[in-house]
Chains A and B, each alone.
Chain A
Amino acid sequence: MTNLWIDLLCLLLMLANFRMLGVSRLGACVRTAAHQGMLLCLLPVLVAHDFTLGLVPVVLLGLIVRGILMPRLLWRAVLKAGVRRELVPEVGFLFSLLAGVVLLGLCFLIAQPLQADQATARTLALPVALFTIMTGFYLIIMRRTAAMQALGYLVMENGIFAFGAVFAVHEPALIEMGVLLDVLLAVFIMTIMIHHIGREFDHLDTDSMSVLKD
């Protein structure tokens, strides 16, 4: 029964990834990342065999930070910079979707030898966690605006979090919170930098930031 719920959740996470790969409106992307972050926080609850009350604060905190705080910060920075749409990327959005399909297939291949050792074997959890990490990488590498790169970082962090949840890695709560705080601060500082980039260059195109080279 839980396996069914895990699979359903993973399908939703996967769809969120595809939406972010295929949409050019930054607002839609940020919202999707927020939904993904919220859904993600359910994963440790589903994976845990014995649900304890000790999980509640960590899950709630994750929900607030991943689902609300970080996307909110990012969206505010995007609004301030006055950039609503992703610039036309080197590779089109349709191609990005296709690349997503290929990546997903790749993740299933990679996940296969790893499947045996974990609590959630025989679910989609591991391939989808890997796929989320890959999607984050893809967004960071292929998209041109600074905001999209920050979003890519967010998605990648989501994926890594999912990966930890799949293996039921229980770090002590204090460290779990430290990691969350670091990620939150990273996104916060990125949004400050996005603000500065918007003011300095009047756009968020990182391709044009290429003065420094040898």
Chain B
Amino acid sequence: MIWLLPGIPLLTGAISLLRIPRSWRRALLVFAAVSHSALTALAFRFPDLFASHGWLALDKAGHFFLAISSVLFLITTLHLVTDCHYLSGSETRSSDWFLATEPSATLAACLNLFLATMTLCALSRHLGLLWVAVEGTTLATAPLIHYRRDSSSLEATWKYLVLCSVGIAVALLGNFFVAAAGGEHAGLSLDSLRSNAASLNPVWLKAAFVFFIVGYGTKMGLAPMHTWLPDAHSEAPAPVSALLSGALLNCAFLAVLRAHAVLAAAGLADFSKGIFVLFGVISLVVAAFFIVGQGDYKRLLAYSSVENMGILSIAVGVGAGFGGLFHALNHSLVKGGMFLLAGGILSRCGSTSVRDARGLSDRARMVAGLWLTGFLALSGLPPFGIFFSKLAILKTMIDGGHWLLTTLFLAALAIVFIAMSRIVLLMLFDKPEKGFPTQRSRIQLDTLAPLLLLLLALATGIFLPESVGDLIRAAAQEVGL
């Protein structure tokens, strides 16, 4: 049964690449999204049906991240179906005789493949397979960023492809270092690494971790390897940005966590935690620097993702397992919603520059209201979930006596909050140069998906079910936190 999870989207993706009618492609995407989330939910109820198979297993950490990706993918699909201009587009005659090459076809097909590779990331219990899956996500998403087929999206795609491929190639070196650390018997499967943890060579293992965090950290958007991220997130169509930020970054995060788990089992957790803190602090500072005075609201969100990846990294570094993973969940929900909203703003104002989006509250009340709500959620205002996850991280930090780190953390968050609120208020209430007709408030379908995501982000703050809390705690324990 476990094969169905990556298998179905892989199959629907492969079919979508062929020259089939557009409506079929849409139906396949919906089928993949719905079946995937249904199976993920089913696995909570009947874990025996999804027993491990070879190197695939549904452990707690994998299940947690799989569930985040699945929910986000489902809601993004809902967005794509309700706001259908992404999936329609002109049906140009394809030059190939059996492959479809128009942008909308590539979008649908690659989204399916993206889901399949993400699922594989969450399920792999073997470092080699994990590498294959993470590189797979890069390959599945590169064509998505090139959706608009213009020069700037091409530039973003090239940067993304080269930087991430090289980064992940470095992680492959990390794999070899782990293999060298363990010799013949330990191999690369997580289970055998754990059972042989005591006999692993610590020097090789430490070197391996450095390669892992540089390699997968590139994918995760940790500064200073983040340079592809703002370009790719701002050039990709909104639903793709939402998935990149909400799901893909998490996959890379999980990959680093898996490496951390190996080190923790070998008694080297302090070493990896120190590196996590280092990269986390750099990411926070760099993100804060670029958010101040940012003139493009999609890039603003992208840098906010860098900031949040920094927060996750610091959380792991100080040992805030629950807070960190809970923050990953909250960030995915809110950021997914924000990127979908950014797409809505773009379609109303015609550009991603903050300048052109001024006076949003007069132009589109619903979008403006949600944008403000999303910003408040992202900044960590109660009762949104992010408030509680940040609080949990902060508490662990203070309990651990990391005073300098706490000061830095709070200062960076304050700077980001002030800079972002200035930009958001500018967008909402500043008067634009030229007037425009006020939009009649009719039902706007493209706000449905962001609304759902923000409601979920609110729900995690107000009422977090006991079972979800337990899952997060178990997942954190599993990756050595």
Interface of A toward B, CB cutoff 8 Å: 117-118, 133, 137, 140, 146, 149-150, 153, 156-157, 160, 163-164, 167, 169-172, 175, 178-179, 181-182, 185-186, 189-190, 193, 196-197, 200-201, 206, 209-212, 214
Contacts and interface: CB of A to CB of B under 8 A. Distances in A.
A153 B165 contact: yes
A118 B184 CA distance: 11
A200 B151 CA distance: 6
A209 B176 contact: no
B131 interface: yes
Given A175-B126, A182-B132, A182-B136, A190 B299 contact: no
A149 B161 CA distance: 11
Contact of B179 (A140, A149, A169): A169
B444 interface: no
19 contacts: A117-B204, A118-B180, A133-B173, A146-B158, A149-B162, A156-B166, A163-B173, A164-B172, A167-B176, A167-B180, A169-B176, A178-B129, A179-B172, A181-B132, A185-B139, A189-B142, A211-B152, A211-B155, A212-B152
Interface residues of B, number: 44
Contacts of A140: 162, 166
Given A163-B173, A175-B126, A212-B234, A153 B290 contact: no
Nearest to B228: A212
A157 B201 CA distance: 25
A171 B128 contact: yes
Contacts of B150: 200
Contact of B231 (A160, A170, A175, A212): A212
B158 A197 contact: yes
Contacts of A196: 146, 149, 154
Contacts of B237: none
Interface of B: 126, 128-129, 131-132, 135-136, 138-139, 142-143, 146, 149-152, 154-159, 161-162, 165-166, 169, 172-173, 175-176, 179-180, 184, 188, 201, 204, 230-231, 234-235, 290, 294, 299
B135 A212 contact: no
A193 B161 contact: yes
A66 to B, nearest CB: 14
Given A193-B157, A200-B150, A200-B151, 14 more contacts: A146-B158, A153-B165, A160-B176, A167-B176, A179-B128, A189-B142, A189-B143, A190-B162, A196-B154, A197-B158, A209-B158, A210-B155, A212-B152, A214-B230
A17 B301 CA distance: 42
B169 A189 contact: no
Contacts of A189: 139, 142-143, 161
**Which secondary structure dominates where chain A touches chain B?**
helix
A179 B126 CA distance: 13
A186 B154 contact: no
A153 B230 CA distance: 23
B128 A175 contact: yes
Most buried by B among A167, A182, A185: A182
Nearest to A167: B180
Contacts of A212: 152, 155-156, 159, 230-231, 234-235
| Best-buried of A163, A186, A196, A206 by chain B (most CB within 10 Å) | A186
Nearest to B156: A212
Given A118-B180, A212-B231, A214-B299, A186 B161 contact: yes
A214 B294 contact: yes
B158 A172 contact: no
A201 B169 CA distance: 28
